[in-house]
Amino acid sequence: MQERLLRNFFVFYLYICGNLAYSQSLPDFTSLAEKNSAAVVNISTSSKVSGNASPQGFNMPDIPENSPFYDFFKKYFGDIPEGHGQSQERSSLGSGFIISKDGYVITNHHVVKDADEIIVRLNDRREFIAELVGSDARSDIAVLKVEGEKLPFLKLGDSSKVSVGEWVLAIGSPFGFDYSVTAGIISAIGRSLPNENYVPFIQTDVAINPGNSGGPLFNLDGEVIGVNSQIYSRTGGFMGLSFAVPVNVVENVYEQLKGKGRVSRGWLGVLIQDVTRELAESFDMAHPHGALIAKVLPNGPAEIGGIEVGDIIVKFNGNNISFSSDLPPLVGGTLVGSTVSVDIIRRSKPKKIEIKILELPTDDQMAAKNSANKPDSLKNPLNIVVKSLTEEQKKQIDIYDHGVLVEDISSGPAQESGIRRGDVLLLLDNIKIKNVEHFNKLVKQLPKERSISVLIQRRDGPVFLALKLEK
């Protein structure tokens, strides 16, 4: 009995010692949170939007509830909001932080996008109406300016020195709960996210939720190493994956927005993809690496410099390219007008090319370029390209005498109505579409400023959509 008691006591003692050792190894964030919370701000915005706007981009007509079309539009476009047709006010909440004693504030672009008024609130309850200095959608960074006395501000660190496994802390206002503190570790660095090609994100497991956007990410020295930007979630809430814009990217954007109100980036003018194991074998490469050129844009720096489709960029300006996602941030951060050395593999042989980097065109400039290079069939009022159905496709949908397949689609009435690539168009304005030629003829005859119906066939069955051509 005594021996058993001694053994149990020894086990308990080891358990207590183990927990004490573990607790002592964890960082204490108390002083860090106390010291830096004062310079973290809550950001609220308001903007007026038209009540006619629909979430899907369709201009909802005024339809009485007793109309036979009311259920149709409700099914495909959602509930018709109260006060439809009237101006409505929209508000948003986010976070930010002051980076200078003269009142410059960093936050996310998406926090202040389209805002008519921006209010910055400090934890001492002071409130300021902020001026938008500039905003950059590609990095999701915005710079604000407030006028005040004795403003606290944060110290910026060096995101190039962060390491996986390093402890980090976030301060923000998730769901409006001001100055909430959460902690975790850096899970990965240099992450590339879909449609975010120019930012090598810092991935963490820090709990980030709506309202945290724009808030700072600190290292244990109390330095800002990133701006919390977004999460990966299947539910809308935190699931252990959060992403921050590295502070070195933020500093560059801040200086450009402060200096000239916009951000210029380097541009190569290529479409790229990863090199798979199978592709590496076909190119006689020892292992997969580099960025494979899938398309060279006309009159771009790459074409002028001699880059060809099928080339593999393995080094850019002295930096090794392991994955295709490594290339865009390097190109974007290159000084416009500078000439860089690019190492490629062409037909299994190494080659070095000198390329002069030009400025990345704006979205509007890109759209204009793409429009100029569109096939004629994409320049129709619907901005859509169709092709004939194969016999196999006709069998699949059990329709043999009419219909065309959507091969390509760009921004325009058809896209806004919900039509997408791969749809089969059966009826246009209640007329059977016989073939491609007939479709193009019908499009030219479509009425303006009146909603027309389109019957489409998808895998889950037929569905009607409504579209309208502007005058």
* Residues 422 and 358 sit within 8 Å (Cβ to Cβ): no
228 and 215 Cβ atoms separated by less than 8 Å: yes
- 95 assigned to active site: no
Active-site residue (options: 92, 95, 136, 140):
140
Catalytic residue among 110, 233, 388, 408: 110
Q: What is the 3-state secondary structure (H, E, C) of the chain?
A: CHHHHHHHHHHHHHHHHHHHHHHHHCCCCHHHHHHHHHHEEEEEEEEEEECCCCCCCCCCCCCCCCCCCHHHHHHHHCCCCCCCCCEEEEEEEEEEEECCCCCEEEECHHHHCCCCEEEEECCCCCEEECEEEEEECCCCEEEEECCCCCCCCCCECCHHHCCCCCEEEEEECHHHCCCEEEEEEEEEEEEEECCEEEEEEEEECCCCCCCCCCCEEECCCCCEEEEEEEECCCCCCCCCCEEEEEHHHHHHHHHHHHHHCCCCCEECCEEEEECCHHHHHHCCCCCCCCEEEEEECCCCHHHHHCCCCCCEEEEECCEECCCHHHHHHHHHCCCCCCEEEEEEEECCEEEEEEEECEECCCHHHHHHHHHHCCCHHHHCCCCEEEEECCHHHHHHHCCCCCCEEEEEECCCHHHHHCCCCCCEEEEECCEECCCHHHHHHHHHCCCECCCEEEEEEECCEEEEEEECECC
Catalytic pick among 135, 180, 213, 229: 213
Q: Is 213 marked active-site? A: yes
Residue 229 known to be catalytic: no
Q: Which of 138, 148, 139, 137 is CA-nearest to residue 105?
A: 148
Catalytic residues: 110, 140, 213
